[in-house]
């Protein structure tokens, strides 16, 4: 850093790149390879499945607009952690951090292996890709993205733009092809929609499971709150980007699913592990490579966006003294490079024994529980601090609707069909107390920590960031 320069994250992401970030993290591999989840839990009822996809878009929009108040009130990166600590206390914020420390690297590892498998599959026709080259390539991909992140937010933003445009082109191709097939009016294409509601109607538990499947495809809409400290004018851009991105994503998802159903029967979709590949085999077999490019670019951009945004959580947790000081330092490109490295180390460890990646299944349902807690914190903070400056105030019906939906999605499967994964998830969460009590509550310190911090600062050329309270009161408001 130059002498006298402000040491903080730089606000360089505007409306366009903010929308791109949302596209890149929401549209992942799911829409290409796993839309059968919604069909499965709607008893192969085509009409209900399409309604679920549309309803998931509405629920995601409501939740995202409710969540946006966090980023506009506290315009810092990692705002959700700072908000939880301020509204519900340190221990709830630490549990949120504790889950993220392991679930996020598990997701990075899983998607890294999936991407490596797609890239290497053409070199191993007719057989499975060997584990060793797949794991080595996944490690190389993750660490290359780490180097890109270390170069700063501008480079990350342009990388996201390129990869997002590629996968959007592939999705538009699938959508337009499906529309053309329906307009041409071929009997086998239209018949599935004429009798869309003839199949069995799912019950409440199945609907909850179908919602979880659909909402997974929309997940990531909170990324702008995670990177609010790098957004220009977050009080306006967060809401504008959310409305723009989720509206377009909803339209694309509906058109893509209609295209799938126009070409494939529900049973064919259920029997396919890669629906988009099966769809392309039926429509234009010679262009399978188009789907491979679409899936690869989707996973690439989603991986990069997750790594970028999740490192900001460690950054703000360090500023709030719930992680070592070194994680709140920045390099010359204003990147919390130590936080990025920690994410990559954890993800690399989880790649080696790939069965550990099942951890993501144990903690996945907690995301909606966390959202419900954040809505409770939002209401509590409005009562405790009514005069707090809030550039954007979400309407209370949206807050209560988000709370109701989150608890419905969490409690319905847990009560009606409890599994060992729910028990493992709660045991994992409460095991965080073993670390919170000595280091978070009693603030135990060790002289070796100071020596390691000095060594890493010199090695990585990083400097302490400005105080978080000074940053909140800046132009982001």
* pLDDT interval class at 115 (50, 70, 90): confident
In a domain, 45, yes or no: yes
What pLDDT is stored for residue 119 in this prediction?
A: 83
> How do residues 176-189 score in pLDDT, each as one tens digit?
988 888 887 666 66
In a domain, 332, yes or no: yes
Max Cα–Cα distance, the chain, nearest Å: 75
* pLDDT interval class at 19 (50, 70, 90): very high
Rounded mean pLDDT of 441-454?
A: 72
Cα separation, 305 vs 239, whole angstroms: 19
Residue 227 per-residue DSSP state: B
What pLDDT is stored for residue 186 in this prediction?
A: 65
Question: Are 399 and 381 in contact, with CB atoms under 8 Å apart?
Answer: no
In a domain, 289, yes or no: yes
Cα separation, 436 vs 98, whole angstroms: 9
In a domain, 432, yes or no: yes
In a domain, 3, yes or no: no
Cα separation, 30 vs 249, whole angstroms: 13
- Number of domains composing the chain: 1
Return the beta strands (E) in 348-420 as ranges.
Answer: none
165: domain range?
Answer: 15-468
Higher-confidence residue: 340 or 470? 340
Cα separation, 403 vs 95, whole angstroms: 19
Looking at every residue in the chain, the average pLDDT score rounds to: 82
Cα separation, 52 vs 64, whole angstroms: 18
Total residue length of the chain:
477
Q: Answer yes or no: is pLDDT of 243 > 80.
A: yes
In a domain, 477, yes or no: no
In a domain, 7, yes or no: no
Residue 230 per-residue DSSP state: G
CATH of residue 312: 1.20.1740.10
**DSSP states along 151-204:** T-HHHHHHHHHHHHHHHHHHHHHHHHHHHHHHHHT-HHHHHHHHTTT-SPPP-H
In a domain, 4, yes or no: no
> How do residues 24-69 score in pLDDT, each as one tens digit?
888 877 787 768 888 888 887 888 888 999 999 998 999 899 889 8
What pLDDT is stored for residue 286 in this prediction?
A: 81
Higher-confidence residue: 198 or 155? 155
Report the predicted TM-score, pTM, of the whole model to 2 decimal places: 0.85
What pLDDT is stored for residue 18 in this prediction?
A: 92
């Amino acid at each position: 850093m130059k002498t006298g320069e402000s040491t903080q994250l730089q606000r360089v992401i505007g409306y366009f790149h903010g929308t791109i970030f949302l596209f890149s993290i929401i549209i992942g591999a799911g829409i290409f390879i796993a839309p059968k989840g919604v069909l499965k839990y709607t008893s192969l009822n085509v009409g209900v499945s399409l309604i679920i996809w549309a309803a998931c878009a509405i629920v995601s929009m409501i939740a995202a607009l409710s969540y946006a108040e966090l980023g506009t009130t506290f315009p810092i990166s990692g705002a959700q952690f700072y908000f939880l600590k301020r509204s519900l206390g340190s221990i709830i914020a630490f549990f949120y951090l504790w889950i993220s420390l392991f679930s996020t690297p598990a997701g990075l590892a899983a998607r890294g292996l999936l991407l490596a498998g797609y890239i290497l599959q053409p070199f191993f026709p007719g057989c499975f890709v060997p584990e060793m080259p797949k794991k080595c390539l996944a490690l190389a991909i993750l660490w290359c993205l780490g180097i890109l992140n270390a170069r700063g937010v501008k480079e990350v933003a342009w990388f996201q733009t390129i990869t997002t445009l590629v996968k959007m082109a592939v999705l538009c191709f699938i959508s337009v092809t499906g529309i053309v097939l329906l307009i041409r009016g071929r009997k086998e294409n239209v018949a599935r929609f004429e009798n869309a509601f003839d199949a069995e109607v799912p019950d409440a538990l199945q609907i909850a499971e179908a919602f979880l499947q659909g909402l997974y495809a929309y997940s990531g809409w909170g990324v702008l709150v995670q990177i609010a400290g790098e957004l220009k004018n977050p009080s306006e851009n967060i809401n504008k980007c959310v409305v723009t991105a989720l509206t377009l994503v909803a339209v694309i998802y509906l058109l893509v699913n209609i295209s799938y159903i126009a070409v494939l029967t529900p049973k064919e979709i259920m029997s396919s592990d890669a629906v988009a590949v099966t769809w392309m085999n039926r429509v234009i077999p010679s262009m399978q490579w188009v789907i491979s490019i679409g899936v690869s670019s989707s996973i690439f951009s989603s991986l990069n966006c997750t790594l970028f945004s999740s490192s900001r959580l460690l950054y703000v947790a360090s500023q709030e003294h719930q992680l070592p000081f070194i994680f709140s330092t920045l390099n010359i490109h204003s990147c919390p490079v130590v936080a990025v490295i920690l994410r990559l180390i954890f993800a690399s460890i989880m790649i080696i024994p790939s069965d550990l990646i099942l951890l993501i299944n144990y903690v996945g349902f907690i995301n909606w529980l966390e959202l419900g807690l954040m809505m409770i914190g939002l209401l509590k903070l409005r009562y405790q601090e009514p005069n707090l400056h809030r550039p954007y105030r979400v309407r209370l019906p949206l807050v209560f609707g988000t709370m109701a939906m989150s608890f419905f999605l969490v409690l319905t499967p847990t009560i009606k069909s409890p599994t060992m994964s729910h028990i493992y998830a709660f045991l994992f969460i409460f095991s965080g107390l073993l670390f919170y009590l000595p280091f978070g509550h009693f603030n135990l310190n060790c002289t070796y920590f100071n020596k390691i911090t000095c060594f890493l600062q010199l090695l990585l050329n990083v400097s302490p960031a400005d105080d978080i309270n000074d940053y909140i009161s800046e132009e982001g408001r």
